[in-house]
């Protein structure tokens, strides 16, 4: 941990009692700040409040009172999920009070080698693969943190100048990280996500580009080279550009040619040996390989990781095989693009479980993928009628069910040996579940109940 005095004697408001917010509040106390912690909700347990107050932190719950803006805070550390049009946050913006996220705080105290990953899809898998690859050859600690569910600042506290930290960073986090400066930054892809938060696609892209904003030619931006738009986005960085591509050969980075992965013209391994299925995971592997090779990782270490790693939970996760049916949990597929990619990963007939929160769009884009890959569909949630319409357009049998749990036995009835039963909803979970993680966990529980087996 780097010693800093930036917060000594400063008055800081921490908004949000998530894992990162609580860790940030305690860290700020260590750094000498006078801290107030605020959450709009009232915690179900008093333990959180008691723990904060025991550390000398003032706690306000049950509201985000706008009156807090009159208390002279020097800095606000905001939970990334709290929008900037929140009345209290908007007042701080109008006042010109600095608003950062916990990722910025983590960067400020970090004293080692930083690799950061962002993108619309594939962030967590790429982050995990990169960390595993670098760790295979490392003589010092290699950890991961960030949007992957582990507090950046908490891990940064325990790392020294020779250690490496691989961070997954969302657009929400990056908006509040003005000085973050990874030596290696990765952009997996950029689609049109979170426009309810960012308002426009350009705002969303600009937030993503904060990952490279402070980089110089001595740093590296590893970026997907498979779309012209992403190539143009790369031109907005001052870093040395390192492309990765599944479709375009580029000797400046990692790419695929005739089923073989290459790094700058040298063979690394065949794509068929990657344990993770699907073209999206070839892309994730290419991004991780580029970062790993820039970090001095050997081909043997890369091969070891890619031939053994079976996937991040809820991200096209292999659950089990039962009576010659394969079960996959892709609950993280909360948009159309992710489900398109998931379906392309299978050369077996798919029984697709899909549906969820109705965000107002329809699913005609999925019709060609349904025609090619899907044998039958089980639809559920607010948008099940729209999903059913797309299935009907594709000529695929469609069965309605209540949710992702009740859909499992329905899918089993329609399946035959050799089929894949895939939860890939193409929609957010919030109409029926508090998160995609809960939805995926409940799906796995339903599979275990059906089969009498535990996930593998």
Q: Which CATH architecture has domain 103-308?
A: 3-Layer(aba) Sandwich (3.40)
* Strand duo 254-257 + 260-263: pairing: antiparallel
Superfamily name with CATH number, domain 11-100:
NAD(P)-binding Rossmann-like Domain (3.40.50.720)
Question: For residue 42, how many other CB atoms are within 10 A of its CB?
Answer: 11
CA distances to 1, 20, 84, 443, 449 from 69, in Å: 31, 22, 14, 44, 51
Q: What secondary structure does DSSP assign to 434-456, as a single string?
A: SSHHHHHHHHHHHHHHHHS----
Asked whether this chain's domains 11-100 and 317-451 adopt the same fold, the reply is: no
Residue from 146, 142, 216, 153 nearest 181 by CA = 216
Per-residue pLDDT of the chain (456 residues; tens, 9 = 90+): 999 999 999 999 999 998 899 999 999 999 999 999 999 999 888 899 999 999 999 999 999 999 999 999 999 999 999 999 999 999 999 999 999 999 999 999 999 999 999 999 899 999 999 999 999 989 999 999 999 889 999 999 999 999 999 999 999 999 999 999 999 999 999 987 777 888 899 999 999 999 999 999 999 999 999 999 999 999 999 999 999 999 988 889 999 999 999 999 999 999 999 999 888 899 999 999 999 999 999 999 999 999 999 888 898 888 999 999 999 999 999 999 889 989 998 989 999 999 999 989 899 999 999 999 999 999 999 999 999 999 999 999 999 999 999 999 999 999 999 999 999 999 999 999 999 999 999 999 999 999 999 987
From the options 1.10.3720.10, 3.40.640.10, 3.90.190.20, 3.30.1490.20, give the CATH code of 317-451: 3.90.190.20
Domain ranges of the chain: 11-100, 103-308, 317-451
Backbone torsion region of residue 143, taken as left when φ is above 0, otherwise alpha when ψ lies between -120 and 50, otherwise beta: beta
């Amino acid at each position: 941990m780097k010693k800093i005095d930036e917060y000594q004697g400063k008055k800081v408001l921490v908004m949000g009692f998530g894992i990162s917010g609580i860790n940030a509040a305690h860290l700020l106390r260590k750094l000498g700040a006078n801290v107030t912690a605020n959450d709009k909700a009232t915690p179900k347990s008093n333990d959180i409040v008691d723990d904060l107050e025991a550390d000398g932190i003032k706690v306000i719950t049950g509201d985000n009172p706008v009156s807090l803006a009159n208390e002279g805070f020097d800095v606000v550390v905001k939970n990334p999920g709290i929008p900037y049009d929140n009345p209290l946050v908007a007042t701080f913006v109008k006042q010109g009070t600095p608003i950062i996220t916990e990722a910025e705080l983590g960067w400020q105290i970090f004293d080692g080698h930083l690799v950061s990953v962002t993108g619309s899809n594939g962030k967590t898998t790429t982050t995990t693969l990169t960390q595993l690859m670098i760790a295979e050859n490392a003589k010092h600690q290699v950890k991961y943190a960030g949007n992957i569910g582990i507090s950046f600042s908490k891990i940064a506290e325990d790392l020294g100048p020779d250690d490496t930290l691989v961070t997954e960073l969302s657009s929400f986090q990056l908006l509040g990280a003005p000085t973050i400066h990874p030596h290696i930054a990765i952009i997996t892809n950029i689609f049109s996500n979170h426009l309810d938060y960012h308002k426009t696609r350009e705002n969303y892209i600009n937030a993503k580009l904060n990952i490279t904003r402070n980089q110089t030619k001595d740093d590296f931006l590893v970026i997907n080279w498979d779309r012209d738009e992403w190539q143009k986005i790369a031109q907005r960085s001052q870093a040395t550009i390192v492309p990765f591509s599944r479709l375009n050969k580029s000797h400046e980075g990692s790419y695929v040619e005739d089923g073989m992965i290459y790094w700058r013209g040298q063979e690394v391994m065949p794509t068929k040996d990657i344990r993770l299925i699907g073209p999206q995971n070839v892309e994730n592997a290419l991004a991780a390989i580029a970062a790993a090779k820039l970090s001095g990782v050997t081909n043997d270490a890369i091969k070891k990781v890619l031939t053994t790693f079976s996937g991040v939970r809820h991200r096209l996760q292999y659950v089990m095989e039962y009576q010659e049916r394969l079960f996959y949990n892709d609950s993280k597929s909360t948009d159309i693009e992710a489900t398109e990619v998931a379906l392309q990963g299978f050369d077996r007939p798919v029984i697709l479980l899909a549906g969820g929160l109705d965000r107002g769009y329809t699913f005609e884009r999925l019709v060609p993928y349904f025609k090619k890959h899907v044998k039958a569909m089980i639809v559920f949630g607010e948008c099940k009628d729209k999903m059913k319409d797309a299935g009907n357009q594709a000529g695929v049998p469609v069965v309605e069910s209540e949710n992702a749990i009740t859909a499992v036995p329905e899918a089993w009835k329609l399946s035959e040996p050799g089929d894949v039963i895939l939860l890939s909803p193409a929609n957010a979970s919030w109409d029926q579940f508090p998160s995609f993680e809960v939805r995926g966990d409940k799906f796995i529980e339903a599979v275990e109940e059906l089969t009498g087996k535990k996930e593998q």
